[in-house]
Structure 1
Amino acid sequence: MSGGLNGWLQRCRESRRLVLVIVAIALLLDNMLLTTVVPIIPEFLYDIRHPNATLSEHLEGYHPQTTVSPTTTTTIMPTTTTTGRCLCNSNSSAAHTSHLEFLKPNPVSSIETITINITSIEDKERTQRHKELVEETVAVGIMFASKAFVQLLANPIVGPLTHKIGYDIPMFTGFIIMFLSTLIFAFGRSYGILFLARALQGIGSSCSSVSGMGMLAERYQDDKERGNAMGIALGGLALGVLIGPPFGGVMYEFVGKSAPFLVLSALALGDGLLQLLMLQPSIVYTEVEPPSLKALVTDPYILLAAGAITFANTGIAMLEPSLPIWMMDTMGASRWKQGATFLPASISYLIGTNLFGPLGHKMGRWLASLIGLVVIGVCLICIPLATSINHLIIPNAGLGFAIGMVDSSMMPELGYLVDIRHTAVYGSVYAIGDVAFCLGYAIGPALSGTLVNSIGFEWMLFGIAILNFMYAPLMYFLKSPPTKEEQKSLIIGEKSCVRYESYQNDEEEP
């Protein structure tokens, strides 16, 4: 009986599909945590800084003096004058008659005066709220970017480390760090503690994503199969992005801030147990000499593929901290609407990654990426034109689908470029791919607050759209990149030409 169980466990551990499931779950939970905070943090921080007037109350626009009717005005105005108070205390009919005569010349002007005063108060409060929300965008943007910045710093360490000890231990380390980060989010009650949780998540994400993609590239050697597998894994990432914002918004509004993070920590614990049972993390030494990080970073074709990932994700990264606050400011959107606005992008990203994993191989990954960058630019231009949440559905859906096209095409392309131009060891190249992904999520939120403050929400998105349009044609260079042998032949040919020219010059000299 035990022998049969051990045999079944051994078959599971050798299964490529099980590894794919574990990687997809890890990416799902990581990105759920990444996006669950999107509808929670802006309002939570506002409530911390304004304990006597929450953002929800401001958005409802409730002011006791805003409703003015003729009947309430005629009763309010006399009590504001000495004559009115005296007349009210009198019981004679003459007194009541004079009270009515006193009001006759003034009701219209009184209503107009109150209306003007109320409008002035509302304008001042609206202006003040707008200013506070713009300032809030800066603080939220810096917090959101901290995860990506830390991940950027960790990737160059994690990538080469996987060459020395294998992918299993870094993968399991990523789970432990993510679990701790989730608990800190659940119980943190200050900006500093939440900032720490977000930054700590960056280390865990680096371990999970670099190790996970490296595992898949190692186990799926065929280029077409690798593209399919990575499309499915990125589908897990997309599902996390899909579930995160509405999950966070609904749970925060109806249960409380800690609830979504406690649920996530329980799910992360389950994933960790699965890794411990099936992967049995241990040190695995690589027999093949891995390519140096310097050689990969200086490869222009790898940089082109990585740059496409960066530009594709910068736009959505800028929207994460700024779009909910822009919706509060221009539409008075509630918590669940702020979370739900990312739903179309997440659903279409899930479709795009699964569709273009295999389709990108057929049509050419360079072409899929080129089209994706152009569509991203168009959608970013359309978003600021929206005047209601319904107007955001189509541009957000197009944005998510196009990002899925780029990510699911360029991630397998990185593995393919390493195969044909370097040595088939994948930790460092997926560290570069993750750096590219994080660069977008570091630059986007970090600059979004400053850009919204200086040039406005609309021009910020127009600017990143133009950058996407300009970068798209560069994808043509990935159509048929030279292999290692072709590159060597080219270098040898160039050297031979130089030697021949030198020899000819020597012969011509007297």
Structure 2
Amino acid sequence: MACLAEGPRSRRLVVVVVFVALLLDSMLLTVIVPIVPTFLYSIEHSVNTSRGTQRSPLALPRPTAPVLGPAHDVTPWAGSPLGPLSSSNSSSNSPRCLQDSSSLAKENFKVGALLASKALVELIASPIVGPLTNRIGFNVPMFVGFLVLFSSTLMYAFSQTYALMFVARSLQGIGSALTFAPGLGLLASVFTDDKERGGAMGVALGGLALGLLCGPPFGSVMYEFVGKSAPFLVLAGLALLDGALQLCVLQPSLISPQSAIGTPLLTLLMDPYILLSAGALSFSNMAVAILEATLPLWMMETMCPPQWQLGMTYLPASVSYLITTNLFGYLANKMGRWLCVLLGMVVVGVSICCVPIAKNIYELIGPNAGVGVALGPDVVVLKGLTWSC
């Protein structure tokens, strides 16, 4: 660790390592969101077809133009495993509606459980990883996190069942716990000056913002036009790059150059400022989590969009998060961090109530952008806690 603190070049390389690690974790977190609903739909109907329990809606004949006219022609969902879509959906007149849209309601629990499994495992693993890094340092946990995330990414790419996807998502929770806290702790130990530390944190968390920005559109476009495995294989290549950087820069070793005594967990839980910060982070991120689990399914039922739009709909939220991360960092010094967080929570509360009113993807731009505003104060809170340590 001491050698890493020598010279600005080595310290910049540490920032790059943490940046790439957070980019990989956040992209893997969000790239699956627009893929899961249609993937589960295709699994369900392929099983029903093979068992002969019902006639698959994928095999319906294409109506001819003289019967229905060009405006009612049924066109396939390009590149998607779902095949032809129906024009007879009761909730929409779009020609791109799913033939068996009623089955989407059955997927709500599966999608929610799959997406929540990562957060649950990370919640359990994080209190274990924290004291572990105090004993053995940050380098080894980060490298183990890379190995776990790489394994999870490959499982995503080649899994063809819901169970394997669930295991991959849960495994990602362990990798995230071994990446996020040790990564930020590594930056805090290398950059001891408050201003330098804040700048390094901002750059590294930019990887998190970039992953959230690119993940859903990247996943939906690659899934529709290339295939399900394609986005995860690209992320696996990014994971290998991160592992190579860690081997070259951090040189992980079981021999720790220093050991720190961490604050007991009970002491942290009794701190009212930490509790308020944790509450703000939980409630603001809850809105984003709800949209991730429900918005694609709701759009498929009511708006009948093409596959690539399921990911693009998250783009306004990602862009607003990227902007407000820097904006709130500046405003926090002028008007106070608590007021920035309060403003962000008010905006996200109003925005999340406006989502069900939208009738098409364009009307979702404003509410989604407002929801993304909530993540800006999150970073401000995180930086504030880091600076005060």
Superposition TM-score, scaled by structure 2 size: 0.84
1:35–1:244 Cα contact (<8 Å) kept: yes
Rounded to whole Å, the distance in 2 between the matches of 1:394 and 1:122 is 27
Task: Choose from 228, 231, 256 the match for 1:260.
Answer: 231
Task: Choose from 28, 31, 35 the match for 1:33.
Answer: 28
Rounded to whole Å, the distance in 1 between the matches of 2:330 and 2:380 is 9
2:285–2:374 Cα contact (<8 Å) kept: no
Task: Choose from 299, 308, 313 the match for 1:341.
Answer: 313
Helix, strand or coil at the partner of 2:328: helix
Task: Give the count of matched residue pairs.
Answer: 359
Rounded to whole Å, the distance in 2 between the matches of 1:127 and 1:238 is 33
Q: Shift of the alpha carbon at 1:253?
A: 0.9
Deviations 1:202-240 (A, max 9, x none): 000000001011122233334444333323222211110
Task: Choose from 251, 275, 280 the match for 2:251.
Answer: 280
Deviations 1:429-480 (A, max 9, x none): xxxxxxxxxxxxxxxxxxxxxxxxxxxxxxxxxxxxxxxxxxxxxxxxxxxx
Unaligned runs of 5+ in 1: 1-7, 71-117, 420-510
1:202 is matched with which residue? 173
Q: Shift of the alpha carbon at 1:415?
A: 2.3
Rounded to whole Å, the distance in 1 between the matches of 2:5 and 2:271 is 39
1:147–1:201 Cα contact (<8 Å) kept: yes
Rounded to whole Å, the distance in 2 between the matches of 1:147 and 1:191 is 14
Helix, strand or coil at the partner of 1:289: coil
Rounded to whole Å, the distance in 1 between the matches of 2:349 and 2:283 is 10
2:10 is matched with which residue? 15
Q: Shift of the alpha carbon at 1:339?
A: 0.6
- Shift of the 220–368 alpha-carbon distance from structure 1 to 2, 3 Å rule, reads farther
Matched, 1:186 2:148: no
Q: Which amino acid aligns with 2:178?
A: C
Q: Which amino acid aligns with 2:38?
A: E
Rounded to whole Å, the distance in 1 between the matches of 2:272 and 2:5 is 41
Q: Shift of the alpha carbon at 1:38?
A: 1.0
Task: Choose from 182, 207, 217 the match for 1:236.
Answer: 207
Matched, 1:137 2:108: yes
Rounded to whole Å, the distance in 2 between the matches of 1:400 and 1:278 is 34
1:151 is matched with which residue? 122
2:52 is matched with which residue? none
Deviations 1:379-431 (A, max 9, x none): 11121111111111122122213322x212110222245x3xxxxxxxxxxxx
Deviations 1:130-150 (A, max 9, x none): 431121121111001111111
- Shift of the 325–361 alpha-carbon distance from structure 1 to 2, 3 Å rule, reads same
Rounded to whole Å, the distance in 2 between the matches of 1:287 and 1:253 is 49
2:4–2:190 Cα contact (<8 Å) kept: no
Larger-gyration structure (1/2)? 1
Matched, 1:352 2:334: no
Q: Which amino acid aligns with 2:63?
A: P
Instruction: Give the alignment of 1:79-118 within 5 angstroms.
Output: none
Q: Which amino acid aligns with 1:174?
A: G
Deviations 1:94-126 (A, max 9, x none): xxxxxxxxxxxxxxxxxxxxxxxx99x865998
1:271 is matched with which residue? 242
Q: Shift of the alpha carbon at 1:323?
A: 0.3
Rounded to whole Å, the distance in 2 between the matches of 1:411 and 1:341 is 27
Q: Shift of the alpha carbon at 1:58?
A: 6.5
1:160–1:293 Cα contact (<8 Å) kept: no
Deviations 1:225-270 (A, max 9, x none): 4333323222211110111111111111111111111111011101
Superposition TM-score, scaled by structure 1 size: 0.65
Deviations 1:296-323 (A, max 9, x none): 1221211111111111110011101210
Rounded to whole Å, the distance in 2 between the matches of 1:214 and 1:285 is 15
Rounded to whole Å, the distance in 2 between the matches of 1:234 and 1:264 is 18
- Shift of the 318–10 alpha-carbon distance from structure 1 to 2, 3 Å rule, reads closer
More deviation in 366-375 or 127-136?
Answer: 127-136
Helix, strand or coil at the partner of 1:382: helix
Helix, strand or coil at the partner of 2:374: helix
Unaligned runs of 5+ in 2: 50-55, 70-85
1:160 is matched with which residue? 131
Q: Shift of the alpha carbon at 1:272?
A: 0.6
Q: Shift of the alpha carbon at 1:289?
A: 3.2
Task: Provide the aligned C-alpha RMSD in A.
Answer: 3.0
2:287–2:352 Cα contact (<8 Å) kept: yes
1:64 is matched with which residue? 63
Rounded to whole Å, the distance in 1 between the matches of 2:360 and 2:352 is 16
Matched, 1:303 2:298: no
Q: Shift of the alpha carbon at 1:170?
A: 0.6
2:143 is matched with which residue? 172
Deviations 1:131-178 (A, max 9, x none): 311211211110011111111110010011011011111111111100
1:411 is matched with which residue? 382
Rounded to whole Å, the distance in 2 between the matches of 1:327 and 1:392 is 10
2:91–2:301 Cα contact (<8 Å) kept: no
Helix, strand or coil at the partner of 1:50: helix
Rounded to whole Å, the distance in 1 between the matches of 2:304 and 2:320 is 26
- Shift of the 358–286 alpha-carbon distance from structure 1 to 2, 3 Å rule, reads farther
Helix, strand or coil at the partner of 2:178: helix
Helix, strand or coil at the partner of 2:163: helix
Matched, 1:319 2:288: no
Helix, strand or coil at the partner of 1:205: helix
More helix by share: 1
Instruction: Give the alignment of 1:460-479 within 5 angstroms.
Output: none
Q: Which amino acid aligns with 1:317?
A: A
Q: Which amino acid aligns with 2:362?
A: N
2:28–2:215 Cα contact (<8 Å) kept: yes
Rounded to whole Å, the distance in 1 between the matches of 2:68 and 2:37 is 37
Matched, 1:390 2:362: yes
- Shift of the 203–251 alpha-carbon distance from structure 1 to 2, 3 Å rule, reads same
Rounded to whole Å, the distance in 2 between the matches of 1:368 and 1:388 is 31
